[in-house]
Amino acid sequence: MDEPLVRWDWIARNWDNGGPTSVKVLLENHIVMAFVPVVVGLLIAIPLGLACARYRWLYQPTVGIMNVVYSLPSLALFSILLSVTGLTQTTVIIPLTLFSLAVLIPAVVDGMQSVPDHVRQSAVAMGFQPMRRLTRVELPIAVPVVLAGLRVAAVSSISLVSVGALIGQGGLGYLFIDGWQRQFYTPIVVGIVLVVALALIADLVIIVAQRLLTPWARRRA
């Protein structure tokens, strides 16, 4: 009798069996390792991107360094960090934060460049001080471009976490290795479905956030 593609009884037994490799625990770990880098990356990218937009000479070297980091294989970075951070989630979170920065810094700079000059001039003419002009005029206009970069960073981070399973910290990636080693496809299918579901949910949340942060776009539509 052929083995079915999905064994529902395996899912029921292993969803929350109290062990460190239960699907629930792996999912929770995956969420932490995927979204902490994106949040930290955004917090760093906003001021750094604003500095690059303000001081153009800073932009090219910053992006150049980030592009070099982004081109490095994630597994190589995990391996380098092993001697420093050990077999912990930090070993995965640090490289993914750097990868997020490589996407988010250009997004912030492009977002600031998307602000029309006449809008800035109008804000200055109305007496807006630099900080007020930034928070009330420039950043709101830049939101769609920044969040477009955030969507890419979030989906990439969710996907790349799985590679960490090769060093024992890959969240749902453990299911891929376990299923492959045993030639048992149910864990693989479960892992794929949950990773795709996480990516879709994250993308939807960011889209909703964009609609809430740019109400004028809805009125114009």
The tens digit of pLDDT for each residue in 88-138 reads 889 899 999 999 999 999 999 999 988 888 888 888 888 878 788 888 888
Is 170 among the domain residues?
Answer: yes
Residue 79 lies in a domain: yes
In terms of residues, how long is the chain? 221
Report if residue 2 sits inside a domain: no
Q: CB-based burial of residue 32 (10 Å sphere; 0-12 exposed, 13-18 middle, 19+ buried)?
A: middle
Assigned domain for 3 exists:
no
Which of 169, 165, 167 minimizes the C-alpha distance to 179?
Answer: 165
| Domain annotation covers residue 62 | yes
pTM of this structure: 0.88
Top-ranked range on mean pLDDT: pick from 47-51, 167-171, 209-213: 47-51
Q: Which residue has the tokens 């150049």?
A: 64
Q: What is the pLDDT of residues 171-204, one digit of tens each?
A: 898 999 988 888 888 899 999 999 999 999 999 9
Write the CATH number for 19. 1.10.3720.10
Enclosing H/E stretch for 57: helix 56-71
pLDDT at 75 over 90: no
Q: Give residue for tokens 């490289």.
A: 95
Give the Cα-Cα-Cα angle 80, 191, 178 (nearest 5 degrees): 65
**Mean pLDDT in the chain?**
87
Domain tally, the chain: 1
Domain that holds residue 92: 8-216
* Residues 145, 108: Cα–Cα separation, whole Å: 7
Answer for the pair 91, 85: CB distance below 8 angstroms, yes or no: yes
